[in-house]
Amino acid sequence: MNVSEEKLSKLREEKGFERVGQYYIVGDIPSAEKYTAAFFYIDQPMLYMLRNQIDLLSGEVPEKEAQIAVCKEWLEKYGKDKKVGDKITLNTEQLSGEYTISGILDMRTSGETFPFLISWEKLENYENYNESSNMVYVHVKEKNAEDIKKYCNEIAEKNNLPVAFNNQYFRYVNQVISADQLGILGILIGLVFIGSYTVIKKYLSNFYNK
């Protein structure tokens, strides 16, 4: 289940969340150059939560419609000598056009599929954008697994959202990670209001589990 922009705004107001990250998967779009562009959007909190999988090597996340962040592997093959601030042209079936490189990403790729991070402005103006397909991932301040579940169930009920828990994550927490460690790390919780753990894991596996 997904989250509308209105409900996303309400989740960000919850004091029990350390941070709320948003992402949107546009999907794989073929290009005229025989590679596939995997367009997606993530905000700054989400980039932080995925810092072990997505490293912003230089520049910044795109903010304007004509800005884009590209992975270094794509640049090495299709945009040699291009750097942050330079322009590139994507000849994809959708979201094609000229972009200014705002940042360079270090992400593992899979074959001829390359990730492209677009801006929120670009996403909002995308003809196939569906606000109810926004995904949410959260860091929770609470340390105890049972308290986390209780709190999140309360928030889900209040906002009329389904809630799903990654029980494997909680078993790992209870067996391996101490409360003190949780306080240091924050909780990258496998709970997601919208089942987004499964969705993003499946999406990222295209790049990271080659």
| pLDDT per residue as tens, the chain (210 positions) | 456 778 778 888 888 888 888 889 999 999 999 899 999 999 998 898 888 889 999 999 999 999 999 999 999 999 988 999 999 999 999 999 999 999 999 988 888 999 999 999 999 999 999 887 888 877 777 667 778 778 878 887 887 776 666 555 444 444 443 333 333 233 333 333 333 333 333 444 444 444
Q: What is the pLDDT of residue 106?
A: 93
pTM of the model: 0.75
Contact yes or no for 113/31 (Cβ under 8 A): no
- Long-range own/partner contacts, residues 6-9 (CB < 8 A, 24 or more apart): 7/159, 7/160, 7/161, 8/134, 8/136
Q: What is the pLDDT of residue 2?
A: 57
Instruction: Give the separation between CA 140 and CA 138, rounded to whole angstroms.
Output: 6
Structure tokens at 188: 């990258």
Instruction: Give the separation between CA 18 and CA 14, rounded to whole angstroms.
Output: 9
Instruction: Give the separation between CA 19 and CA 176, rounded to whole angstroms.
Output: 23
Instruction: Give the separation between CA 48 and CA 172, rounded to whole angstroms.
Output: 22
Provide the CB-side half-sphere exposure for 128 (13 A, CA): 10
Phi-psi region of 33 (alpha: psi -120 to 50; beta: other; left: phi over 0): alpha
End-to-end CA distance of the chain: 27
